[in-house]
Every structure is written in structure tokens, then in C-alpha cells.
Amino acid sequence: MLQYVMFIINSGKFASNNMAHIFEDYTWWIGLVKKVLKKAETFEMRLWSDDVEAIESGLKYGTKVNNKETEEIVFQGKVTNDFEIEVQEDFMSREGYIKWFTLNLYRGEKLLFSSGHYGDETLVFDLSEEEAHRIQEWAKQYPVIKRVDVYNETIRTKF
């Protein structure tokens, strides 16, 4: 059975928007997203209207799609080399938190990675039991990660 992992992060201070945590360290997030980007084909960004830097990113790399279910601004697009560089090197807002409210990465219709609430709810999907265990072990090197919880996966597809 496939599994997924959820990262529980030691919260830092809150950003001025009172929604985003500013973590002490982001190297874990960069390392994780770098691995998943190798498998990903498409992305989805879900943003709020005041996520100006993230909206600029969405306009540059994706297409705005209609969203009648929430007030979020949604962009979707293909994972390209330039997009990968953006996610790995220009992921932070000026205030010091992950600039996307939600960043989802997909292979086909399958959700592989979800970084929600500005990275505070980061999950990796489509893992074997061994891969989930390796991620738990890998995470131990990062003090900012409180723990990594493992769950049995049900089928997840695009929203």
C-alpha cells in the first residue's frame, strides 16, 4: 500500500499577514521539493490576493484558472526548468516565508507534493513504505522538523 508523509514543523514567528510562519530554516523544504520536482509534470498554486510575489510567479509560469469554490487565486502550469529554478531559489517572500499559500506538484493526475499554509502543512504522496521510512530518517538532520507522520494513502487527484 502506498503511503504519504506529513511534516510537523517547529513554528517560528508569524509574518505580518498573521497566516504564515517564518521558520528558522528552509533547507529541508528546498531539499524535499528538489527531489519531488524530478518526478513532477505539472503544478498548481493557490494564492490569496495579497500574495503579490506569488501571483507574479503564477503569472510568469502558469495560467490562471477559474475557481468558484474558494476565494483563492489559482494558477496551473507545466513544470519547466525555469519553474524548478523559481521554486528552489526564489521561493521566499520579502518577509521571509514561503511565498505560495499552497504549491501542489503532480505527475499526471496524481498529487505528489503539497506545501500548504506557506509550508506549514507540507506533505509528500505516492511513497512506498521504505521511501516513507527513508524520509523520516532524512528529516532527523533538521531541528526545525518536529516529526514526520506517516499515513496510508487513499487515491488523490487534482481538485
Classify residue 103 by burial, with Cβ atoms within 10 Å: 0-12, 13-18, 19+: buried
For the stretch 85-143, pLDDT in tens is 999 999 999 999 999 999 999 999 999 999 999 999 999 999 999 999 999 999 999 99
pLDDT of residue 158: 56
Instruction: Give the pLDDT mean for 137-154.
Output: 95
For the stretch 15-35, pLDDT in tens is 998 889 999 999 999 999 999
CB half-sphere exposure, 130, CA atoms < 13 A: 0
pLDDT of residue 159: 52
Q: Are 124 and 103 in contact (CB under 8 A)?
A: no
Parse the chain into domains and list their residue ranges: 3-152
